[in-house]
Structures are given as structure tokens and as C-alpha cells.
Amino acid sequence: MKHRRGLTVFITVLIVLSGLGWWWHSRWQVLDQVRVPQTHTATLFLPGNSGAWLSMRSMVLSLDRPHLASFPLTARVSQTGRVTWQQHHVITTNPLIPIIFKDNTHAMRQSRQLITVLNQLHDHYGITHVNFVGHSSGGTIAYDYLNHRPQASVTVNRLVCIGADFPGRQPLKYHYPQLHILNLAGEIGSVGNDSEVPANTVTPLRHLVAGHVGSYRYEEFRGPIWQTQHSLLHENPQLDVKVIRYLYPPS
């Protein structure tokens, strides 16, 4: 009996590992044929409430390939706002930069700390143009930054929000004619939400930015729970493709 139970466990583990291997291969495979322009615009990844490195790790690593983007830096922000940089390799084209906040439950405070991150990117690494990808309240951090004055010495080109809502936010106070926004919501089947954020709490961003940005687009990702659940949205390979093409469009 013990032998049979051990064999069952072994087979189960083997099936799970094979499934994970197939999933990771398919995630990489869907990006094999994608090509985007190579620029010096950096894309900053902002995790959501209580998010850390693992929150955006898979997306960053899957996009880190020669014809798409590179992963040269990680920024870690302390409770007091001090920024520590971890450099993985020399900065080349389309740099992807995760921002990890120690105090990761206060979007407004994180948005102010983001000013320091951006100023140091400009002063230490010569970055002048950036994009933001914000998951959940990471999108709120980016939005709050846009409503701050003074700002950092960089230009924000594109913002991608993934499953983000904007509770109690006031309309955008400043004009960003160069800024283009893609607002993505997940919907499990036809239930109207991604298990945490209802689609109708994502859509108000349109009214908050109306008349203040270059363009705004809203899209829903509908599908099974393993593709559209709130914490799994940024694990979706089709979303990877859409995001990287939006961030770095043909010139």
C-alpha cells in the first residue's frame, strides 16, 4: 500500500511539473514571432497592494529577450523612500525595470517615492522617457504620480493598467498630450470581474483622464480563471504580447 501511495504521489508531481513546463514553454513560444522597435525608453513595473518581486517577475522575464526588451535594473525602495539599485547588466534597449516598494500598501505614498526613483534614473542612468505598467494598485500609483507636482525630469510616454481601480481619485489636473493609456480588465467567464476587481470599477479611468491625454483605450480579457484571475492576469502570455506591442509601437 505504501508503495502504491508513493507511486501515486510521484505520478501526480510528474504531471504537475510537466504541466508547468508546458505552460512556461507556451508562454515563451507565443512571443517568439513578436518584434518591436528598439528604443531607449524604459518601462517601469509597479506591483499592486502587498506586491513584491514575484508579482511581476514572470512578465519581466518572459519579455527579456533580444528582439523585445532587456532587464538591466531593479529598484528597491525602503520604507523611508531611499532607493537601492541592483544592476544586472549594462542598459541597452527597451529596458524593463521592476520597482519594489518596502511600504507596499499606500499607493499615494508610493507615488511620491516614485519621484525619487525617476529622478535617479534620469541623473544616474540617462533615462529621459519612461512607460509604466501597473498591476492592480500599481496602476493607482502611476495615476497618483501623474497628479503630483513637482515631477521628475522624465517624460511618461505610455501607461498600461492591469486590473487596476481608482477609488476616490479626482480627475487628472494636468495635460499629457504625449501620454497614451491602455486600461486592461480581467473577466472570468461572464461574471463581470477577475475575482477581486469588478470591471465596472476599472472603467472610470476614462472619465478621470478625458481631455488630458493623447489617447485612451479600454479592453477586457475574458477567459478561464487560470488566465483572467486578478493575480494571474500578468501570467497570461497573450497579455504579454499585447502589452509589449503597446509599449513599443512601430515608429
**pLDDT of 7-44, one tens digit each?**
445 555 555 545 545 555 555 688 889 999 999 999 99
Domain 31-247 fold:
Rossmann fold (3.40.50)
- Whole-prediction pTM value? 0.85
Burial class (CB within 10 angstroms; exposed 0-12, middle 13-18, buried 19+) of 107: buried
How far, in Å, are 14, 48, 109, 113, 242 from residue 79 at the CA level? 42, 16, 10, 9, 33
Nearest CA to 145 out of 115, 121, 165 is that of 115
**What pLDDT is recorded for position 78?**
97
Q: Where are the domains of the chain?
A: 31-247
**What pLDDT is recorded for position 28?**
64
